[in-house]
Amino acid sequence: MASGSLKKKPKQRSINRSPSSMASPSSPFRFRRKSLIISSSLIISVLVLLYITSKKKNFEAPLAELHSVEVVNEFPHDPEAFTQGLLYGGDDTLFESTGLKKHSSVRKVALQTGKVEILQKMDDFFFGEGLTLLGDRLFQVTWLDKTGFMYDRHNLSKFEKFTHQMPDGWGLATDGKVLFGSDGSSTLYHLDPQTFQVIRRDTVKYKGHEVHNLNELEYVNGEVWANVWQSDCIARISQKDGIVLGWILLPDLRFGSSPCSCKFLLPLEQIDVLNGIAWDSQKNRLFVTGKLWPKLYEIKLHPIREQQQPGVIEELCLRRYEFHFM
CB–CB of 77/287 below 8 Å? no
Distance of alpha carbon 276 from alpha carbon 295, whole angstroms: 12
- Collapsing DSSP to helix, strand or coil, 56 comes out as helix
CA distances 15 to 47, 157, 219, Å, are 46, 103, 84
Contact present, 166 and 198 (Cβ < 8 Å): yes
Q: Which pLDDT does position 253 carry in this prediction?
A: 83
Give the CATH number of domain 65-306; options: 3.40.190.10, 2.120.10.30, 2.60.40.10, 3.20.20.140: 2.120.10.30
Residue 198 has φ and ψ, to the nearest 5°, of -75, 120
86-93 average pLDDT score:
98
If you average pLDDT over every residue of the chain, what do you get?
A: 83
In percent, the amount of the chain with pLDDT more than 90 equals 67
Examine the pLDDT at 92 and tell me if it is beyond 50. Answer: yes
* H-helix segments, 98-219: none
- What pTM does this model have? 0.78
Q: How far apart are CA 286 and CA 176, in angstroms?
A: 19
DSSP letter, residue 243: B
> What does R_g of the chain's alpha carbons equal in angstroms?
31
Distance of CA 234 to the CA centre of its chain: 10
pLDDT, tens digit (0-9, with 9 covering 90-100), for 195-232: 999 999 999 999 999 999 999 999 999 999 999 999 99
- Confidence (pLDDT) at 38: 52
Q: How confident is the model at residue 265 (pLDDT cuts 50, 70, 90)?
A: low
User: With contact defined as beta carbons under 8 Å apart, do 191 and 199 qualify?
Assistant: yes
Q: What are the φ/ψ torsions at residue 24 (nearest 5 degrees)?
A: -60, -40
Nearest partner of 299 among 253, 256, 257, judged by Cα: 253
pLDDT at residue number 263: 55
| pLDDT band, residue 259 (cuts 50/70/90) | low
pLDDT, tens only, 126-162: 999 999 999 999 999 999 989 999 999 999 998 899 9
- Contact status, residue 234 vs residue 228, Cβ threshold 8 Å: yes
| Cα–Cα dist 168/184, whole Å | 8
Query: What average pLDDT does the segment 18-34 reach?
Result: 49
pLDDT at 49: 57
Phi, psi (degrees; rounded to nearest 5) at 79: -70, -10
